[in-house]
Amino acid sequence: MAEEDLRALEGVTDSLGEPPKKFIRFNTLKAIQYNECRIRCRELETLMAGPLRKKKLRPIVFRYVNRLSSLFFMLAYKETK
């Protein structure tokens, strides 16, 4: 994994537009499934925090999972609109 992979992921996420400024209730099956993926990414981030602090995990991997959760959120948001 490299910086260009992270930038590509950020580019896809950014191409989906601005995130909402208020609470969103996901109301379609696909949006709910995307949100479930986002939740699992956030759980993974929590599990990765310890190894990251101990320098047993490359920071870019942690950042990638964080950006992946943002992508899933935006996909859920777009699916709900």
Are 43 and 68 in contact by the 8 Å Cβ rule? The answer is no
Tokens of 34: 């995307």
Low-confidence spans in the chain with pLDDT less than 70: 1
Question: How far is residue 28 from each of residues 2, 58, 79, measured CA to CA in Å?
Answer: 34, 36, 7
Helices and strands counted in the chain (H then E): 3, 0
pLDDT value at residue 2: 86
pLDDT value at residue 22: 94
Distance CA 41, CA 49 (A): 12
